[in-house]
């Protein structure tokens, strides 16, 4: 399985993604500088990593969405290739219009870093197939702009077509405003495109995969990807 991780000036979770895919999962994982025109030959999964690409100038992810490599990431997605955007990567995918909506400043105005619980809303995706619908997993968040927003008509569409992959919840899986750390509409933590091959999420599954470093709540997603490519 070949994974490409685009690296922008200001990316800082590229190494987390490379550690998760390369060291923990044992996949062939390569960083790709944002100025490159093409993803490496045979790339199956692109992880757009977290960080502060271009210093979050203009809007989070707005400048990175224009980087040369992103044109090839779009081509990869249009061909059905998998793309996972995490944190700033999610913001970049929204700005690149690979995913709907936008991530606004957290309702509290604060940068929030803590563990959260997510409920799996879609367990039929290449990213989630080893998980069960309704299952709860724990992963960290670390962001100041994770407040998912979309216009009301598009929100209704997104919900109706099953575009919500994950929602913030209590450890027992209950939904509700009290469990939403950043003000995101409908508690949305992760969004998937219509085709099911592009997923963006604010929480960091790639930071919760190595037992040497702490809890491993994010492993379910990586095991899902392993099943997708290698078979169960």
Partner 1 sequence: MKVRVSVQLKPGILDPQGKAVEHGLHDFGFAVDHVRIGRLIEMDVPGTDPSEVKAKALAMCEKLLVNPVMEKASIEVV
As annotated, the active-site residues are 87, 204, 206
Stretch that binds partner 1, among 6-14, 124-132, 142-150, 205-213 (CB under 8 A): 142-150
147-149 vs 164-169, strand pairing mode? unpaired
Q: Check binding of 142 to partner 1 (CB under 8 A).
A: no
Q: How far is the CB of 147 from partner 1 (least distance, A)?
A: 8
Using the minimum distance from each CB to partner 1, give the nearer residue, 25 or 192: 192
Q: How far is the CB of 146 from partner 1 (least distance, A)?
A: 12
The residue among 103, 77, 60 whose CA lies nearest residue 189 is: 103
Q: Check binding of 35 to partner 1 (CB under 8 A).
A: no
- CA 61-63-66 angle, to 5 degrees, is 105
Q: Check binding of 149 to partner 1 (CB under 8 A).
A: yes
Q: Check binding of 111 to partner 1 (CB under 8 A).
A: no
User: Which of 95, 120, 164, 166 touches partner 1 by CB under 8 A?
Assistant: 95
Residues at the contact surface with partner 1, assessed by CB under 8 A: 58-59, 62, 66, 94-95, 100-102, 104-109, 147, 149-151, 183
């Amino acid at each position: 399985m070949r994974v490409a991780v685009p690296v922008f000036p200001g990316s800082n979770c590229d190494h987390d993604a490379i550690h998760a895919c390369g060291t923990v999962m044992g996949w062939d994982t390569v960083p790709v500088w944002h100025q490159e025109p093409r993803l490496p030959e045979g790339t199956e999964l692109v992880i757009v990593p977290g960080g502060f690409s271009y210093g979050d100038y203009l809007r989070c992810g707005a400048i990175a969405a224009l980087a040369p490599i992103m044109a090839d990431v779009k081509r990869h997605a249009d061909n059905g290739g998998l793309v996972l955007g995490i944190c700033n990567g999610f913001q970049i995918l929204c700005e690149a219009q690979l995913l709907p909506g936008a991530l606004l400043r957290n309702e509290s105005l604060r940068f929030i870093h803590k563990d959260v619980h997510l409920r799996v809303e879609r367990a039929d995706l290449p990213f989630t197939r080893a998980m069960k619908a309704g299952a709860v997993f724990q992963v960290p968040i670390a962001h100041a702009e994770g407040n998912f927003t979309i216009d009301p008509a598009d929100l209704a569409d997104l919900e109706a077509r099953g575009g919500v992959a994950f929602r913030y919840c209590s450890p027992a899986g209950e939904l509700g405003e009290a469990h939403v750390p950043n003000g995101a509409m409908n508690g949305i933590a992760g969004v998937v495109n219509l085709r099911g091959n592009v997923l963006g999420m604010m929480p960091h599954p790639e930071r919760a995969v190595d037992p040497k470093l702490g809890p491993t709540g994010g492993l379910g997603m990586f095991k899902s990807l392993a099943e997708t490519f290698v078979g169960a």
